[in-house]
Amino acid sequence: MEAKIQQAVALLKQALETHGDGLVYPCSMGIEGSVMVDLICRHGLDIPVMTLDTGRLPQATYDVIAAFEKRYGIRVAVIFPDCQEVEAMVREHGVNLFRQSVALRKQCCEIRKVHPLMRALKGKTAWITGRRREQSKGRAGLQAIETDPVYGLKKYNPLLEWSMDDVWEYVKTHDVPYNRLHDAHYLSIGCECCTRAITVGEDERAGRWWWENDEGAAECGLHVMSLKEISGELEDGEGI
């Protein structure tokens, strides 16, 4: 376990040394986020932490944001979707559009998550993620450092080789604040309306958009969006 911790910290330090102010950690406030925030703060790494508030998060997620700020003396930058985009979407399709089709669910994720992240990443050169290979079949092929072949924005995955047991061992050993929904068998936590507890034997991300029967591949688009969108589509002056 100690070797995995050292490897994760080394990758974080490498990312910071390489990218400096161009590096950011968008935290989902799940259990991996707890580990990442603790590693960043425990080792004095000047990596800003931000999170996306979609407007439909469970209270437990807001509670862990507050717990991080109190424990570590940091201010988490909270990023919101564009209210006009959300209003137009809901006006056209209704408040629960994500249940109507995979396409509309992805549109909801795009407006509430992807577009705000695009604004937050503008001007950045790299970001940290809490993704692990064990989380799903779709993440089994991830690499520790990934580079978009066209635009060069890099992703660092310090917890890539960690198991869920590793994550929990770290959290318990260091008494790290965590999202209490995990205690009710929510392993992957997003919007309240799109997240459920999982049962024994299910994929870790099976509790996300479970009604889609794998049609949506259990991804919201944050990790599959075009780097062209991040790098070029926002007007100057739009920011966090």
Rounded to whole angstroms, the Cα distance separating 5 from 170 reads 9
Residue 180 has which token pair?
Answer: 């209490």
Other CB atoms within a 10 A radius of the CB of residue 215 amount to 12
Q: Pull the structure tokens for residue 72.
A: 């570590």
Residue among 27, 108, 109, 220 flagged as catalytic: 220
Is the Cβ–Cβ distance between 111 and 85 less than 8 Å? yes
The CA distances from residue 21 to 49, 91, 93, 101, 238, in Å, are 12, 39, 39, 39, 18
Which residues, including other chains, have CB under 8 Å from residue 217's CB and lie 6 or more apart?
138
Token pair for 108: 């909801």
Token output for 17? 């040394």
* Residue 191 annotated among the catalytic residues of the structure: no
What is the torsion angle, in degrees rounded to the nearest 10, for the CA atoms of residue 88, residue 93, residue 96 and residue 100? -140
Element (H, E) at 230: helix 227-232
DSSP β-bridge partners for residue 146:
155
Supply φ then ψ for residue 46, to 5 degrees: -85, 70
* Catalytic residue IDs: 220
